[in-house]
A and B are shown apart, each in its own frame.
Chain A
Amino acid sequence: MMSLRPRRVRTRLTLMYVAMLGGVLAVYFAGVSVLLFWQ
């Protein structure tokens, strides 16, 4: 079975950065949305 993990460290680190930022943004959006709709 072919692994989906990128072989190059550069690609892995980039994906990790993007995933982290995406996660932070998602949490931020969720927090802002909850706060605004609650008010």
Chain B
Amino acid sequence: MSGILKRLAAEDLETVKGLLYVSDEGQVGVREDYHHHTDWKQVQERLLEILGPDGSILYRNEKLGDRTIGGAPFAGEGEHGYSGRSARMSDGTPIVLISRKYDLQGRTILIRVGYNQDLIWNQLKETLLVLLLASPLVLAGTAYAGYKMVGRTLSPVSKMAHRAEQINSERLDERLPIENPEDELGHLARVFNAMLSRIEQSFEQLQRFTADASHELRTPLAAIRSIGEVRLQEDARPEEYRDTIGSMLEEVNRLSGIVESLLTLSRADAGQIRMQVSVFPLKALVREAAALLEVLIDDKRVTFTLTGDETVGAEADRLYIRQAVINILHNAVKFTPPGGSISAHVECSSDSRVELSVSDSGPGISAEHAGKVFERFYRADEARTGDDMGAGLGLSIARWAVEANDGEIGMTNLPGAGAKFWIRLPAVGCPSDRGSSQ
């Protein structure tokens, strides 16, 4: 007998017991006028039989009619708690029978409650049938609700796709909408927006580079043309023609320098330049670069000093690092006033790299321009575009050369006046514990 049925039967038996009475004639009955009792209707549905200790039938309810349930009581039936068993009524109907003995006003009675098994089975079948019939409705409802819910969940994707369709090279400032920055779709939108920002930045850089390059190439060409045109407007002596051609060649040289720098940066961007790494003494390289600029240094009467460790070597591509050092020194010479000084120093840095610092006594660079000096075609003073000012590509090339060799480059303003440019490169000969020993 299941726990559910046993509990149900126990409740029924207790209810029946509570409704029993003994009439003056000694007859046992159930108070049927007790209709407002909440359990009465329930008890009416049961098969109820009350027996005396000798097996005589004291009461049977209307549902049972003339039939008997279970026959005479067996020994010990209902004496120790509830007795339950499957049985058949007198007309053969299968039932589940629960019984228990009670004491009613000094008389021992046996209350039996029967449950029609067919009814139980039919109820179960009906319940399962209802569940099965309801299933398609539940599934249809779920499908509808799920479709709506998924649509709502995916709506940010539709909005993002709609917005993305509108983004082109003319509208790179547009961004994907972010409804909830915390969820996965918000994260996706943020990642795409970051990517769009990078693309926009690159696009702007490319446009600026193209415009700057055109401008820089046009300036010497215009100079060559104007020099030539002016000279052709009047007759001149051979010496004057020679001067004109010399001036034109100077502009051609400047043009060649710009084109060569652009070609270097273009090849660097395309990844076509392979570094030939070797170990070389950095101080000797700086001395060699300074020798190349000796004419300019002497021309401006600038004092150049080189100090530092002679033995420390850099592990990098010598050719491109040489170009970077020349560009940095050339930059220092350009911005150092006549009679000023430039000092270069080579030493091991605290992170066991070799560091070259070049300090000048020029005007320094304002904080506004300091972060941009390594950008292509960037000049701190746009008004100064003379022959000695260059095209603004030297430091860009220096940065590329240093970073391509796993190095770092930077600048700081010196207290008072002047600027200090520094590069750090992988070193050979620097003590690895130098940083901890200091």
The residues of A with any CB-CB pair to B shorter than 8 Å are 9-11, 13-15, 17-18, 21-22, 25, 29, 32-33, 36-37, 39
Contact = CB atoms under 8 A, between A and B. Distances in A.
Given A13-B150, A18-B146, 5 more contacts: A14-B147, A17-B142, A21-B138, A29-B132, A39-B5
A14 B145 CA distance: 9
A22 B139 contact: yes
Contacts of A10: 147, 150-151, 154
Given A9-B154, A25-B135, A37 B146 contact: no
10 contacts: A9-B150, A10-B151, A13-B150, A18-B139, A18-B146, A21-B138, A21-B139, A22-B139, A36-B128, A39-B2
B335 to A, nearest CB: 60
A25 B150 CA distance: 21
Contact of A36 (B124, B138, B147): B124
A37 B120 CA distance: 10
Contacts of A37: 124
A29 B131 contact: yes
A14 B4 contact: no
Contacts of B128: 29, 32-33, 36
Contacts of A32: 128, 131
Nearest to B138: A25
A14 B138 CA distance: 14
Nearest to B142: A21
A21 to B, nearest CB: 5
Sorting the interface of chain B by its residue count into under 10, 10 to 19, 20 to 34 or 35 or more gives: 10 to 19
A22 to B, nearest CB: 6
Given A10-B150, A39-B4, A18 B131 contact: no
Contacts of A29: 128, 131-132, 135
Nearest to B140: A18
Contacts of B146: 13-14, 17-18
Nearest to A15: B143
A39 B84 CA distance: 13
A7 B147 CA distance: 14
B33 to A, nearest CB: 36
Given A29-B131, A39-B4, A14 B143 contact: yes
Contacts of B4: 39
Nearest to A16: B146
Nearest to A35: B2
Contacts of B2: 39
A13 B154 CA distance: 10
A21 B136 CA distance: 11
A34 to B, nearest CB: 11
A39 B142 CA distance: 32
Nearest to A19: B139
B6 to A, nearest CB: 11
